[in-house]
Chains A and B, each alone.
Chain A
Amino acid sequence: MVTTKPFLETFDTVHAGEPDWLLQRRRSALARFGELGLPTRRQENWRFTNLRPLEKQEFAPGDSVSVAATAIAPYLVEGAGHRIVLVNGRFDSGLSKLDGLPAGVLLASVKAIVSNDVPGFFLLGPQIFGEGTEEAKQPFLALNTGAALDGFALGIPAGTKIERPIEIVHIADAASPLSVNSRSAILAGEDTKASIIETFIGTGEYWQNAVLRVQVAARAELHHVTIQDHGSEAIHTGSTTIHLAEKSRYNSFNLTVGGRLARQDVYLAMSGADATCAVDGAYLLRGSQEATMATLIDHQAPGCKTREVFKGVVEEQAHGVFQGKIQVRQAAQKTDAHQLNKNLLLGERAIVDTKPELEIFADDVKCSHGATVGDLDEAAMFYLRARGIPEKQARNMLVEAFAADAIDLVEDLRLQQHLRRHLDRWLAGRPS
């Protein structure tokens, strides 16, 4: 059972030295979480997500630990220039690499910012932990506000382009069940360009509750890849909020392969005219994994373009869920938004639930969605086998092609290559 008790008990120690405004925010957020409790399947937005593992186990806030560099080495991106590593949700300066950034770029630990250890950025604190109206309804967000110890903050001043990808590694090491709350923010200024890749990994029984807020200013371009490759006993809840200003571009990809229970919520507001976004991803599930990808793309301004492609491969007795809503407000004329969710259902006891949704209040729009659930294409299987390719290899080829089709949408080729390696690793573990 998740309660506020362990967070309140340790409150004074872990948050010692934080400014008063933040302590107040945290106390009211924890109180709010106490009122809300965990979501239930009777709530429309949670009807497919089974949170029982969270109800059965208490996850205590963890102490700080350190991990060896070898633990993260296999997950690092070739050619990444800058890195922040968070171990059990705390900044690890030894494993991080903050040098070599263009002048004026902020890449720092959130704790350092709110403690005013990073000169000149104390105003960012209230933005990162800012008042969110969603918090009143979202228990995990409220808990995160109350409990998050640290996270990363990336601030890019106007006009700056960062050539090499910035990578963030969230690693958990749990000897006993623990909770990891991370709170992060990306602020991309006008006319900037950057690529960022976040990787979630870990061992043991833990619950990662990650909150990220992203703001992309006018004409900025941000590439954002998230890889959730947690250990098999992990639970992941993630909430990412993105605001796009006019003519900005945001390209994201979320790969979900890890954890036993995962839920990622994405809220993206196209608040400026003529913005473009790609919200893509893949979930590759086996065993008794459960994963939900829930997105809401809210078109508020005219002339925006959206592409959303999610592919799911669900094997054995795993359960994959996609809930994607495209909303077009009346002011958002000339919206061009397309959503596609395709699923391969490959296990006798595997389950796929998908709810692609369009909510449209403007008339001059081009919007579509599509969803499919099915086995591998029989005709393609026969064609491959008729050329002598053994059944298992043929199935692997088709599964790979299916998932790679989504990964190939990633524009930053370095990140695309990195994702392909994760896919290969996953494919190598396919049951025969």
Chain B
Amino acid sequence: MLEIKNLHARLKDGREILKGIDLTVNAGEVHAIMGPNGSGKSTLAGVLAGRDGYEITEGSVTYQGKDLLDLSADERAREGVFLAFQYPVEIPGVNNMYFLRAALNAVRRQRGEPELDAGQFLKAVRAKLKLLDIGEDLLQRAVNVGFSGGEKKRNEIFQMAMLEPKLAILDETDSGLDIDALRVVAHGVNNMRSPERAAVMITHYQRLLDYVEPDVVHVLSHGRIVRSGDKSLAAELECKGYAFLDDVA
């Protein structure tokens, strides 16, 4: 589904952050990417989703046979790439419900499905809200404005559930969550697992992996994947800390 080859990316100021990433994610798989602060995790997420401010200097990213880097951010989203933001953006004045319907209909058009009218949309929304323990009042507010940290993260997963992406990239979705919220979020992610879908979870800590079991764990350090393994690697990291990476790197 996703094939990243020798990906190099730098910031506008010239600092190179990704220094040759190789990663293959197949349909049905859940990958975890772990690494210390500054290792390039969020940059990788941003590059995959098409955020401005990065320059790709080398390498390629193929998604479902297409050159992902050739697509704009919204085209990627409509092709089924979903980024759950580490810091979901507040958009004053744009109603959450209105926003979500615009997004869902954009994605549905792309998939050749009919747009939902207000009634059908509401029905779909209510089903998913329950799943994520989100109150309906949240939908009447402006996008993420005045949401608590936990609410913002749950709103991300709720959007994911609504948009049903093929490839979900979860950027530090577990950070700042208490244990109950973490469970709810994990439940939402697990619900999405299917043979046609894949997910990349970017995280600093192992604790999300206790709830969402990854098929493969990668360790990112200084812009490269330095180790890959099964979920036992996460446990190893948890007990040794990231310091040991310096030995392997």
Contact = CB atoms under 8 A, between A and B. Distances in A.
Contacts of A383: 85, 88-89, 91, 143
Nearest to A405: B93
Contacts of B82: 386
A393 B101 CA distance: 13
Instruction: Give the size category of B's interface with A.
Output: 20 to 34
Interface in B56-87: 72-74, 76-78, 82-83, 85
Interface stretch (A109-117, A282-290, A374-382): A374-382
B49 interface: yes
B93 A401 contact: yes
Interface in A65-96: none
B135 interface: no
B19 to A, nearest CB: 24
A305 B78 CA distance: 48
Contacts of A404: 93
Given A382-B52, A394-B74, A387 B103 contact: yes
Contacts, number: 82
B94 interface: yes
A120 interface: no
A243 interface: no
Contacts of A394: 74
A389 B89 contact: no
A388 B91 contact: no
B91 A387 contact: no
B159 interface: yes
Interface string B119-142: 000000000000000000000001
A389 B245 CA distance: 40
A394 B78 CA distance: 14
Contacts of B98: 397
Contacts of A387: 74, 77, 99-100, 103, 106, 159, 163
A111 B51 CA distance: 63
Interface in A400-415: 400-402, 404-405
B50 interface: yes
A393 B102 contact: yes
A164 interface: no
B146 interface: no
A389 B106 CA distance: 6
A405 B163 CA distance: 27
B89 A379 contact: yes
A390 interface: yes
B44 interface: no
Nearest to A396: B102
B110 interface: yes
The interface centre, meaning the residue of A382, A383, A384 with most chain B CB atoms within 10 A of its CB, is A383
A391 interface: yes
Contact of A386 (B77, B91, B92, B143): B77
Given A382-B51, A382-B52, A383-B91, A397 B99 contact: yes
B85 A390 contact: no
Contact of B92 (A378, A385, A405): A405
Contact of A388 (B51, B93, B103): B103
Contacts of B73: 382, 385-386
A399 to B, nearest CB: 10
A388 B94 contact: no
B163 A384 contact: no
A398 interface: yes
Contacts of A380: 89-91, 94
B106 A390 contact: yes
Nearest to B103: A387
A387 B122 CA distance: 18
The interface centre, meaning the residue of A385, A387, A394 with most chain B CB atoms within 10 A of its CB, is A387
Contacts of A402: 93
A402 B73 CA distance: 22
Contacts of B102: 389, 393, 397
B92 A389 contact: no
A388 B88 CA distance: 15
A205 B103 CA distance: 44
The interface centre, meaning the residue of B72, B94, B98, B163 with most chain A CB atoms within 10 A of its CB, is B94
B201 interface: no
A385 B91 contact: no
A390 B72 CA distance: 9
A385 B79 CA distance: 12
Contacts of B74: 384-391, 394
Contact of B106 (A379, A393, A400, A405): A393
B26 to A, nearest CB: 23
Nearest to B73: A385
B107 interface: yes
Nearest to A394: B74
B166 to A, nearest CB: 12
The interface centre, meaning the residue of B49, B73, B82, B163 with most chain A CB atoms within 10 A of its CB, is B73
Contacts of B94: 380, 397-398, 401
A387 to B, nearest CB: 4
A167 to B, nearest CB: 27
Contacts of B90: 380
Contacts of B93: 398, 400-402, 404-405
16 contacts: A377-B89, A377-B91, A382-B51, A382-B73, A383-B88, A383-B91, A383-B143, A384-B99, A386-B85, A388-B78, A388-B103, A388-B163, A389-B74, A393-B102, A397-B102, A401-B142
Interface of A: 377-380, 382-391, 393-394, 397-398, 400-402, 404-405
Given A379-B89, A385-B50, A386-B83, 19 more contacts: A377-B91, A380-B90, A380-B91, A382-B51, A382-B89, A384-B91, A386-B49, A386-B50, A386-B82, A386-B85, A387-B74, A388-B78, A390-B74, A391-B74, A393-B106, A401-B91, A401-B92, A401-B93, A404-B93
